[in-house]
Amino acid sequence: MNRWLALFCMLSILGGAYSYYTPISVGANALTTMSTSLKTISTTVGNYYVSLNLARTKIFAALNDLTQYVNVTYGAFNTTYGANQPLLNSFMSTVGYLNQSVAQGDNQVTQGIINDFTSLSQYLQQSIDTILQSFSSLSSITYNTNGDNCTLRNATQMANVPNDLVNLGTCLQVESDQITAIVPNVLNIIGTVKSDLILLNNQLKICSSQSPSCITEYFNELWQEYSAFQMELYLLQSVVSSAQQDATDRNRFCGDLTKADVQDDIQNLMMAVSSCMYPSS
């Protein structure tokens, strides 16, 4: 109790307790708005990254299923025909490369999600720091006769500045919807690739076991057909990579716009308070 009395007396000596209390009270209301905004953003960010991770899980589960089919199918071909088909032996190294490519793709996507989250956290932190600094600046410039009135006159504007942060959440919600729209298309591509491979591999059944020329012809052509399959996977990788990079770039852009919006609103607020406190004659 004595500590609070001492603080009250000190504020009174420095220029009036009420003139200190008013900007702090208004700032507290603004902090309440910020808290509400951050809760909204927190929910949206959570949903966004749940959507990203769910998309990653579905896509790479389908890719792993595809690589499993390739490994089993061509492993069986190699066991049955490898001794008499030299081209098949070298072809099996390409099958191993597919496994590595899918694993690397998963790692790249995961790292991209981490980088995206890190960037968004930085943009949000920078905007929050700017807002908090403005509260501190307002408290320091309103210690005069007009301080209380000018602060109260602009209280609504001050309290609304943190609402700009919600714009970041709005952008993320759009990206979440975009993810939901893209995933089925990617899964359809993977399914089509697997279907094409099944059709290609079933063509070996045309050859009689007593027809080595037919079998040799099949494995001679397999390289060319498999190249088309690899091109489909390359295009798939490009689609996924481009979609992820586009989302990251849009989030970065949204973060820059949010920061600019916050800075302009704060500048306008400072000018309004300053003009009120020190009106031109």
Question: What is the overall mean pLDDT for the chain?
Answer: 82
Residue-level pLDDT at 275: 82
Read off the pLDDT of each residue in 222-235 and give the average, rounded to a whole number. 82
Read off the pLDDT of each residue in 215-237 and give the average, rounded to a whole number. 84
Instruction: Indicate the length of the chain as a whole number.
Output: 281
H helix or E strand, kind and range, residue 36: helix 17-81
Residue-level pLDDT at 63: 93
Distances (CA, A) of 93 to 74, 89, 121, 161, 220: 11, 7, 42, 59, 16
Give the count of domains, the chain. 1
Burial readout 77-99 (b: 16 or more C-beta within 10 A, e: otherwise): bbeebbeebeebeebeeebeebe
The residue among 37, 101, 76, 26 whose CA lies nearest residue 269 is 26
Amino acid at residue number 147: G
* pLDDT tens figures, 82-125: 888 888 877 888 888 888 888 888 898 899 889 988 888 888 88
Read off the tokens for 152.
């109260």
Q: Look up the domain containing 210 and give its range.
A: 2-277
* pLDDT tens figures, 244-262: 899 999 999 998 998 899 8
Read off the tokens for 115.
């980088």
Instruction: State yes or no: pLDDT of 229 exceeds 90.
Output: no
Q: What is the C-alpha separation between 112 and 52, in angstroms, rounded?
A: 10
| Residue, of 202 and 14, whose pLDDT is higher | 202
Residue-level pLDDT at 214: 92
The answer to whether 18 and 148 have CB atoms below 8 angstroms apart is: yes
Instruction: State yes or no: pLDDT of 139 exceeds 50.
Output: yes
Q: What is the C-alpha separation between 63 and 233, in angstroms, rounded?
A: 10
Is the whole model's pTM more than 0.95, yes or no?
A: no
Q: pLDDT tier at 68 (50, 70, 90 boundaries)?
A: very high
Q: pLDDT tier at 8 (50, 70, 90 boundaries)?
A: very low
